[in-house]
Chain A
């Protein structure tokens, strides 16, 4: 096999790796806790929905909440026992919030549900295979928690050139992937074969940082003549970042608003591959993982195999408890992890590390000094952003400008904060900006929705008014038509003529009256007659205008019923007129 020529990514930092704290310790199974707290939302996407009720007995591996929508993942009972509650419980989240969890009281038997592996996945339909993986609740175990089956469905438009297995594990302190690669390389390789089959990937590369020679050797030792490369990548934080690793392995850059898929690449974590193997070949859903419990704050740091839902404080106890030196408890690593406010939060699918950090492990926040525009942050940024610029925009709350210089490309790796000589917590500013922008977008969406609904209501009210008016008009027209008919029947004359006659009579009457009163008060009388006529004219004009306006409104609102009703009324009136004319002619003829 030819040696792959590796590229490098922009920036990055060399960090003291602190992995020796746990890398030499064998993995132990964590004790079965009395209670498991299983959050319904442990992944990217929609929350799962419970399919069990309080009081139900469950077996280990039984699905207790099903995926809700496409981007979602089911949750399985991680041990046997009884569901005692479905309620809010503290979850691992930077907000320190609580969210809905299924609480299981374990029965100590840890009894599995019946499982059976697929006979031969090579003869399995691809969508069936993806479903198996989906139903096993598998999500990206590297930290992001994106449902894995989705990445296995590139669609007909994409050819997968390279499948990359991420075994870089570049963040300090964390060794869970390292231990898995060392202890269960066969599971990883077996899972990789399934992934390769599902993706029809041409090349497969496993990437391991060169500070983990044992893992590298162990994987190599598993390979015989499979066409799978194991590559050692130079240790440089954050080489384990998806886009960074792709660049190192393939030399290709993922477009800034694109996915690895767009350049024919799929990347999965090595632990995810092992989980896929267990799901497909054994029928075992995802119920546990390796977790590194480490830091100077814990007495016996080591890796544990932990059932999801196990409270973090129990793990700390099993590692000899915490000591006085612990200043912060962090979930994840020192660079990208977040502080836990409560120690009873459960381990979830994306938990790779519990760091009981001392001030030595994680230097306390130092007083911030003014930015000296040294540019170190930009040099360190693996995404080639301008952290210093972003920082100014975040401070002045000009979030749109920050967005314009690609704030959302920031992977929150913390390199910029790490190198900043002024101790500016740059990443914190960027996280803050991102959530502010997201909140603004939500508000805008809500406002747009409210505007649309308000306008729709306004339109409805107008329409209803127009409809009422149209109904009235059509009634009037019908009345007129009826009258015309009855007039014709009695051999009467048309409305027009009648009106004319009436007017003539009126005029005559008025004249007569005027003549009669000429002596008394001719001016006043004349004025009255004039004003009366004017009023009548005005009324007629208003009436006409009203009808016109109504017609226009209906035309505008385009409401068919209104329009057709108006038309009908007009038609009826026209028919009536025609009939009346005919009748008139007949009368004339006689």
Chain B
């Protein structure tokens, strides 16, 4: 009887240690949820969601302080992928935050620019080039279209234009986009 108890006890200890070891050794390093959410946001860094950038918004969603439908640049796609990630209901974009727009790009009227650097300070992704009293310009490929530079410009020389897509970025139309009922 005693031997049986001892054997079982020893076995229990061994397995316990083994399990403990395995738990440490094979620990799955899950992406922290904020990172996962942030990965789904468009990184426009425009603040329309009511937070100073995408990551703070991701943090707020993770903390249950914000809903998943507050990002206009992301639109429906972002809401759907957030809903999938967080196992929530898909809901329409919160209209208070703004509306879905085609991708935009800031253009500085270089004639009018006085080189005040205010837009540089506003740009969340350092996409504006220039120095004090020098003409400024936008690096097209880096501009996220957040519009944050428009407001601070004292001479109103920044315009938002729609991003032109060339034929290499053309997409085949959705066969079901014509609204026809498909079987």
Contacts and interface: CB of A to CB of B under 8 A. Distances in A.
Do the two shown chains form a genuine complex with each other?
A: yes
Interface in A56-80: none
Interface in A411-437: 422, 425, 428-429, 431-432, 434-436
Task: Tell me if B's interface is mostly helix, strand, loop or mixed.
Answer: loop
B44 A450 contact: yes
Contacts of B124: 454, 457
B41 interface: yes
Interface string A435-451: 11011001100111111
Contacts of A223: none
Contacts of B41: 447
A449 B142 contact: yes
A447 B176 CA distance: 28
B170 A95 contact: yes
A460 B125 CA distance: 11
Given A368-B182, A368-B183, A457-B126, A451 B170 contact: no
A29 interface: no
Interface size class of A (residues with CB under 8 A): 35 or more
B169 A457 contact: no
Interface centre among B41, B43, B45, B176 (most CB of A within 10 A): B43
Nearest to B168: A41
Given A369-B183, A429-B175, A93 B125 contact: no
B166 interface: yes
A451 B43 contact: yes
Contact of B167 (A97, A428, A443, A448): A97
B171 interface: yes
A99 B175 contact: no
B38 interface: yes
Contacts of B43: 446-448, 450-451, 454
A450 B166 contact: no
A459 B172 CA distance: 41
A434 B170 CA distance: 11
Contacts, number: 73
Contacts of A94: 170, 172
A28 interface: no
B163 to A, nearest CB: 10
Contacts of A371: 183
Interface string A340-376: 0000000000000000000000000000111100000
A450 B169 contact: no
Contact of B38 (A95, A99, A451): A451
A113 B173 CA distance: 44
Interface size class of B (residues with CB under 8 A): 20 to 34
A54 interface: no
A435 B142 contact: no
A93 B172 CA distance: 11
Contact of A450 (B125, B171, B175, B183): B125
A465 interface: no
Contact of A453 (B127, B167, B171): B127
A4 interface: no
Contacts of A93: 167, 170
A101 to B, nearest CB: 13
B170 A428 contact: no
A562 B28 CA distance: 37
A432 B167 contact: no
A552 interface: no
A432 B172 contact: yes
A295 B2 CA distance: 95
A475 interface: no
15 contacts: A97-B166, A97-B167, A99-B166, A99-B167, A368-B182, A371-B183, A425-B175, A435-B170, A435-B172, A439-B169, A451-B38, A451-B54, A453-B126, A457-B125, A457-B126
Given A428-B175, A456-B126, 6 more contacts: A370-B183, A429-B175, A432-B173, A447-B43, A450-B144, A453-B142
- List the 10 closest pairs (A to B, CB-CB), nearest first: A97-B167, A370-B183, A450-B43, A95-B170, A435-B171, A453-B125, A447-B43, A431-B172, A432-B172, A451-B43
